[in-house]
Amino acid sequence: MEQGVPHTSATSPDPPLTHADANRPANPPAATRTDAGQGARGREGEGEAPTTATADPRTRDPETPPQSPRQGRGTRSDEWGARAHPPRRRVDTRNAAILGSANVDPATPITRTGDARVAVLASGAGTNLQALLDDEFCGRRVAVVVSDRAGARALERARDRGIPAVFLDPARSAGRDAFGRALLAVLAEHAVDVVVLAGFMRILAPEVVRAYEGRMLNVHPALLPAFPGAHAVADALAWGARVTGVTIHLVDEEVDHGPIVFQEAVTIRDGDDVDSLAERIHEVEHRLLPGAVRALAEGRLRVDGRRVSVAEPAAVAEP
């Protein structure tokens, strides 16, 4: 299923290089548009992040305070972020400047709040992308689809609708920050106002998250803050939970952490396995996500601390 939440931590270092990274030439970042025949099809379910070593607590310096398991990690779908705290400031998406595109001075007002251009980032099958494409409001506002995998089904879905499909090759970027700059260039080229993370299994640079603060949504297959990470469905089953669900939230620089826009519970039935539970979770994701994107695009979200209120469409005055 479409699991995974790419964000970033402003304080976390880049992940350690692998042997493959060490031998990889440091080419400049480049975005490559794909055609129907480019690249091999990736396997479904790929994208799990490498595990990270944990220091033995018995060897910890006694002068160093113990670290919470939710601290000190990079912002990634399969890692836990820092301890929860309110956003630094209030965000009001009625302000047209919040919906300024990446290549516009954010202090410059814009007049197309309801016609915001949407980018969808996906690494796999793109079923949540399809739900957006099939939605009357969202479908005509998807301006570009970006993937870090040449064979992602999401790119095919975009091409089938005549939407620009961009394969952003991580191998052409010398690290996370370079990849982030390449991504920002693609978003600027397509004058993107709103970014939707739909199973994009890659750490985003802090620069990207900050550029779209208050304008980036993620869908997560659990009732956050329960079961964060890339294996939320399996984790809920392993824990013996009776209820899980779906969370649509704004993205900040921590993992599965931003203010919650929508949530809906899904009952875990006796005899459920990952596939059967994921199927019912998908149904809820596909129903909730278009409404969240529309509310954000129309400037109907009000964020105060961790609390998000969603105004009804009729309550928003015409510009």
pLDDT band at 199 (very low <50, low <70, confident <90, very high): confident
Looking at 220, 249, 282, 286, which residue is catalytic?
Answer: 220
Architecture per CATH, 89-310? 3-Layer(aba) Sandwich (3.40)
Give the pLDDT of residue 317. 52
Annotation marks residue 220 as catalytic: yes
* Percent of the chain residues past pLDDT 90, beyond the cut: 55
Give the pLDDT of residue 204. 85
Residues 245-254 have a mean pLDDT of 94
- pLDDT of 117 strictly over 70: yes
Q: What are phi and psi of 219, to 5 degrees?
A: -110, 130
